[in-house]
Amino acid sequence: MNETAVNATFSPALLYINTTILNLTNLTNFTNITSNQNSSFLAITYGTTRATTAITASATTQPRPQTNSTLLSTVATTPANVVVSVNVPYMAAELVIAFLSTVGNLLVCAAVGLNRKLHTVTNYFLVSLAVADVCVGALAIPCAILTDTGIPHNNLYLCLLMLSVLIMLTQSSIFSLLAVAVERYVAIFMPFRYHSLMTPRNALLVILVTWVLAFLIGLVPIMGWHKTPPDSGYCFFVLVVDMTYMVYFNFFACVLTPLVVMFLIYAQIFVTVKHQVRRIAAERGVAGGGADGAANIKKEMKTATSLFLVLFLFTVCWIPLHVINCFLLLCPTCPVPLPLLLTAIILSHANSAVNPFLYAYKMKSFREAFKGIFLCFRGVRDGED
pLDDT in tens, 88-125: 898 999 999 999 999 999 999 999 999 999 999 999 99
Helix extents (H) in 219-290: 237-240, 243-244, 257-287
pLDDT(57) > 70: no
Q: How confident is the model over 117-173, as pLDDT tens digits?
A: 999 999 999 999 999 999 999 999 999 888 888 889 889 999 999 999 989 999 999
Q: What is the mean pLDDT of the chain?
A: 79
pLDDT the model gives residue 384? 58
What count of other Cβ atoms lies within 10 Å of the Cβ of residue 272?
A: 15
pTM above 0.75, yes or no: yes
Choose among 43, 38, 41, 47: nearest CA to 20: 43
The class of domain 87-384 in CATH terms is mainly alpha
List where CATH 1.20.1070.10 sits in the chain. 87-384
- Band (pLDDT 50/70/90 cuts) for residue 382 is low
Angle at 25 between CA 335 and CA 329, to 5 degrees: 45
**Between 279 and 62, whose confidence is greater?**
279
Q: State the greatest distance between any 2 C-alpha atoms of the chain, in Å, as a whole number.
A: 103
59 in helix, strand or coil?
Answer: coil
Contact (Cβ atoms closer than 8 angstroms) between residue 107 and residue 139? no
- In this structure, of 111-120, 197-206, 274-283, the range with the lowest mean pLDDT score is 274-283
